[in-house]
A and B are shown apart, each in its own frame.
Chain A
Amino acid sequence: MDQAATAQASTRSFGSQKMARATLGQMVLALFIALFLLGFLIFPVATVLYVAFTEKGTGAFTLINFIDFARTDLFVRSFWNSFYVSAMSVVLASVFALPLAYITTRFTFRGAGLIQTLGFLPLIMPPFVGAVAMLLLFGRNGSINLLLDDWFGFKIPFMEGLNGVILVQSIHYFPFILINLSASLRNIDRAMEESAQNLGSSGFRLFRRIVFPLAMPGYLAGASLVFVKVFDDLATPLLLNVKDMLAPQAYLRVTSIGIADPMGYVISVVLIVMSVLAMWLSACAMKGRDYATVQRGGGGLMKRSMNRFETIVAYGVVTLILLLVLAPHLALLLLSFATVWSFSPLPDAYTLAHYSRVFGESFVYIKNTFLYASLAGLIDVVLGVAISYLVLRTKLIGREWLDFMASAALAIPGVVLGIGFLRAFYGVTLWNGQPLATVWIMIVIALAIRRLPYALRACYAALQQISQSLEEAAENLGANKARTVRRIVLPLMTGGIVAGFVTSFSTAAVELSATLMLVQSNSDAPLAYGLYVFMQSPAGRGPGAALGVIAVILVAVCSWASHVLIERTQKARGATS
């Protein structure tokens, strides 16, 4: 396949009648996925959300609650705030992600793998303790503002109001763009770039007209994830005490006074509709274009070496961005060694006591986290590959709905999913009388459902970049569908699959909201739960931070290992060409 002679990008037309008939295997696969999603996503969530459509008192079907939504100032204001924050976060996140992705994939750059790994860390911000660390650094009386006030007599409101949310969200979620865009850039056919250069294009024009457009699937996959995730995220606004956004409103109502009131569920429905809409729009933007390239040799873009000036600029930019986005993790590290850290730029003193306190009990948490998150990540990439294959490569009727269903999971508040799981599966008992909902495998499934959209987007983008002509060639040479997928499609998708696995795995490792509903005992608990338990008391802050550091290191090592894996496979492939 590496010897593919043509560098022509658009090869979609011939042989498409072959795709018209779906094979039995594809239908069975689609049915299986549909059943899985219906059983573990749509059904449990519906048991909770149907309230949104019922009339108070009678329980009859009504849309009056949605009219109430539109008539309530607070909700309308929240809606627009959420929209504004999400859009601006995409912009700012792109500013962080583009230089890192471009520099590390396009130039020979020492430490590119390390930078990719570090740039990925912000996604793994352990719940609660991450917030405390961030406030200690950037808050109104955080280290930076205390120093600024001391030296210059002013403070910068990093963490105030909507702008604070935008800053924190972009730092937190820009890795979605980084990881997907990098995977995309690696997959671009070098020949495309070379032909453009032969035709006289270079520099920024080359990037703008050739490289970036070809990397579009990855960028859009990341950007749409950032948009939807920010739109649906409740932890960050709540940590900054910004309540007039949509997701926090839903959460506040579902978990407190509005528990019997339909409005919380109405907002959840609005969130789901918006997420699916955003995903659909990003799919539309890609429609009618073909991003597939044929040649797969040599591992993507030519890596250029930089001259001295370029090197200095590149290192400067990378260092600056990394310093900013990793600052919360540095604060977390400090916090885990701090005795008391209160209204001062740095902790009063340092100790190892927090680590020794969590050392004994953290082993079971680490084991569980590793088990749950890797199983969930595995389920996610299997489903992600299958769904993107069905959507992009078959003509099954209604196949997009698999994508929409899976993407809707992004918008469902974890607590709604948690309650839905209890409602749907607690009545089901196993042979020994234990309720199904209390078996730890349900935590894995809940995590897999919640993180499926991440893996799905990554796999989807990867498959979009592969030309169908490669599969057709294989089939013409006598391979059947299954063999083609196994020998041609999957190996070519490796980068995307790994990206998807890493994203799902690492975010599952720190998820809490659904887990909190489903954890039954300490021996089944993941790290995030252990952290939550610590972070409910003043004395637990240090140990909580220590657990947080352990979680971050654990996930970082895994993600670094997968980058090494990508590099190796690409080198290996380059060598055979």
Chain B
Amino acid sequence: MLRFIHWAVLTVAVGLAPYAQAQSGKVTVVTSFSKDVTDPIKKAFEKAVPGATLEVQNRNTNAGVKYLEETKANNQVDLFWASAPDAFEVLKTKGLLQKYQPKATGIPEKIGSYPINDPQGTYFGFAASGYGIMWNERYAKANKLPDPKEWSDLAKPVYYDHVLMAAPSRSGTTHLTIETILQGEGWDKGWRAIKDMSGNFRQITERSFGVPEAVNSGQVGVGIVIDFFAFSSQASGFPVKFVYPTVTTIVPANVAIVTNAPNKAGAEAFVDFLLSPAGQEVLLEPSIRRLPVNPSVYAKAPADYPNPFTNPSLGARVKFDVDLSEKRTNVVDALYDQLVTFQLDNLKAATKALHEAEGALAKKDNPQARSLVKEARDLIAAMPVTEAQAASSEIAGAFTGGKEKGARQAELEQQWASFAKTRYQEAQAKAEQALKLAR
């Protein structure tokens, strides 16, 4: 026993020793990107900047933001590197990002209608990604699913119980998908489309990567994902396909220097490398497959590589308002969670009843049943808050945990949840009534 304690103390002491001398060329980055992305870039960076080593700390986006917040008093991190622009907005408002003017040239101001860099110069887009629909070909064949093209396709009866999405509150990328639909279609019409589609969901996952994982392994047929998940799945040999719907936004993934970075020079070198042609070319590797923000790099890409700079349908249709999105982020997420995620069983039951009623109506029309179906659809689409309310400071304030007194988040959520629950149940009853009439 005693010997063991000696041994343990010794190992502790030995283990601590390397920390005594900090390495001069170490650049520490907190990132949500997987090894498949970070490894090739790390290798290329260390080759391009001799003497530098990139230390990768892998955390999911939320945990990364939380980590920087909790450790800001004694910051040891040089860079934050992740997809979702809203995570960078959060860090920016908390003063955790440092301004910088990258040396790279040839990068345009916008990709689609989305600005590539933060106008205040605290974070920089280095790769673009769009949202779309991914499906498993074997699954689709076995279940006779047609190839989806648009978001609205996913609301069709044939996809019932075959679609998967990550909760927008859990995945910055899905949040942007929802926000894009809301901005592209308008608040009320957008929510109607989202709920119609969500009624067909099999489940709602809590990790972004849970969606491609389930589609890849064939547990679920169709998933709503960010493009590179689909591209890198294809590159790994999975039998999956991907399509960009017309209402989509191409959004940059970003990199930023953290305030009080211990190795500021190294951090700047990394940003400059990432935006340089050499750094941009690494993005074309099959395991990464992201869209470079430097248009000239596409010359080296394979022929079928999507190019948002030459293909106007990619992301240019929707004018994405970053400020509006920022103002109502939490409200949109909480609305989705309360109206859809935690009410999914009720919503699915209502949706199923509606599919059956509409199926019967298609065979034999009945005006009374038709109006019942319409009423049921409207009940499902009803929203407890208007667009103006969602962006208002009273409601948004309930979610920021700020100093102002006001409604508590739990109170609002309970209201929204019961609002949705009663309406979904009514809708189901009406749809079942309609089915009886139509028979």
Binding site for B on A (CB under 8 A): 56-58, 64-65, 68-69, 71-74, 132, 135-136, 139-142, 238, 241, 243-244, 248, 252, 255-263, 339-344, 371, 375, 378, 415, 419, 422-423, 426-427, 429-430, 432, 434-435, 437-441, 516-517, 519-522, 529, 532-541
Cα(A139)–Cα(B213), bound, Å: 13
Out of B4, B66, B73, B239, name the residue touching A426 (CB < 8 Å). B73
User: Is A375 a contact partner of B8 (Cβ separation < 8 A)?
Assistant: yes
| Nearest Cβ on chain A to B52's Cβ, whole angstroms | 15
- List 5 other contacts, CB 8 Å, given A426-B70, A538-B238: A57-B405, A135-B214, A136-B219, A255-B63, A434-B19
Out of B218, B400, B405, name the residue touching A344 (CB < 8 Å). B218
| Nearest Cβ on chain B to A282's Cβ, whole angstroms | 30
User: Is A532 a contact partner of B67 (Cβ separation < 8 A)?
Assistant: no
Cα(A73)–Cα(B342), bound, Å: 11
Q: A56-B405, A340-B237, A432-B19 are in contact. Are A538 and B218 (CB under 8 A)?
A: no
Binding site for A on B (CB under 8 A): 4, 8, 11-12, 15-16, 19-20, 22, 28, 32-37, 55-59, 62-63, 66-67, 70-71, 73-74, 76, 136, 138-139, 142, 169-170, 203-206, 209, 212-214, 216-219, 229, 232-233, 235-239, 287, 330, 333-334, 337, 341-342, 399-406, 408-411, 413-414, 417-418, 421
Cα(A258)–Cα(B334), bound, Å: 9
Sample (7) of A-B pairs whose CB atoms are under 8 Å apart: A57-B402, A72-B410, A252-B170, A342-B217, A415-B63, A422-B70, A536-B58
| Nearest Cβ on chain B to A532's Cβ, whole angstroms | 7
User: Is B409 a contact partner of A258 (Cβ separation < 8 A)?
Assistant: yes
Cα(A537)–Cα(B12), bound, Å: 34
Nearest CB to that of B22 among chain A residues? A432
User: Is B232 a contact partner of A537 (Cβ separation < 8 A)?
Assistant: yes
Sorted nearest first, the 7 A-B pairs with minimum C-beta distance are A260-B401, A343-B218, A537-B34, A536-B34, A57-B405, A241-B203, A68-B410
User: Is B139 a contact partner of A72 (Cβ separation < 8 A)?
Assistant: no
User: Is A516 a contact partner of B59 (Cβ separation < 8 A)?
Assistant: yes
Q: Which chain B residues border A519 with CB–CB below 8 Å?
A: 57
User: Is A57 a contact partner of B218 (Cβ separation < 8 A)?
Assistant: no
Out of A255, A256, A342, A535, name the residue touching B136 (CB < 8 Å). A342
User: Is B400 a contact partner of A68 (Cβ separation < 8 A)?
Assistant: no
| Nearest Cβ on chain A to B1's Cβ, whole angstroms | 9
User: Is B216 a contact partner of A72 (Cβ separation < 8 A)?
Assistant: no
Q: Which chain B residues border A536 with CB–CB below 8 Å?
A: 32-35, 58, 209
Q: Which chain B residues border A256 with CB–CB below 8 Å?
A: 62, 169-170, 333
Chain A facing B: main interface SS: helix
Cα(A321)–Cα(B169), bound, Å: 40
User: Is B216 a contact partner of A342 (Cβ separation < 8 A)?
Assistant: yes
Nearest CB to that of B410 among chain A residues? A68
Nearest CB to that of B21 among chain A residues? A432
User: Is A340 a contact partner of B34 (Cβ separation < 8 A)?
Assistant: no
Nearest CB to that of B19 among chain A residues? A434
Q: Which of A139, A342, A422, A430 is the most central at the interface, judged by chain B CB atoms within 10 Å of its CB? A: A342
Cα(A423)–Cα(B218), bound, Å: 41
| Nearest Cβ on chain A to B219's Cβ, whole angstroms | 5
Q: Which of A58, A261, A540 is the most central at the interface, judged by chain B CB atoms within 10 Å of its CB? A: A261
Q: Which chain A residues border B212 with CB–CB below 8 Å?
A: 538
Q: Which of B73, B213, B232 is the most central at the interface, judged by chain A CB atoms within 10 Å of its CB? A: B213
Out of A69, A378, A522, A532, name the residue touching B410 (CB < 8 Å). A69
| Nearest Cβ on chain A to B76's Cβ, whole angstroms | 7
Q: A73-B414, A441-B15, A539-B287 are in contact. Are A344 and B34 (CB under 8 A)?
A: no
Cα(A262)–Cα(B413), bound, Å: 13
User: Is B417 a contact partner of A73 (Cβ separation < 8 A)?
Assistant: yes
User: Is B57 a contact partner of A537 (Cβ separation < 8 A)?
Assistant: no
User: Is B217 a contact partner of A263 (Cβ separation < 8 A)?
Assistant: no
Cα(A344)–Cα(B421), bound, Å: 38
User: Is B404 a contact partner of A57 (Cβ separation < 8 A)?
Assistant: yes
Q: Which of B212, B334, B413 is the most central at the interface, judged by chain A CB atoms within 10 Å of its CB? A: B413
Q: A256-B62, A378-B4, A537-B37 are in contact. Are A140 and B219 (CB under 8 A)?
A: yes
Cα(A43)–Cα(B115), bound, Å: 45
User: Is A255 a contact partner of B62 (Cβ separation < 8 A)?
Assistant: yes
Q: Which chain A residues border B209 with CB–CB below 8 Å?
A: 535-537
Q: Which chain B residues border A441 with CB–CB below 8 Å?
A: 12, 15-16
User: Is A72 a contact partner of B413 (Cβ separation < 8 A)?
Assistant: yes
Q: Which chain B residues border A71 with CB–CB below 8 Å?
A: 410, 414
User: Is A139 a contact partner of B219 (Cβ separation < 8 A)?
Assistant: yes
Out of B19, B74, B330, name the residue touching A439 (CB < 8 Å). B19
Cα(A540)–Cα(B213), bound, Å: 11
User: Is B341 a contact partner of A243 (Cβ separation < 8 A)?
Assistant: yes
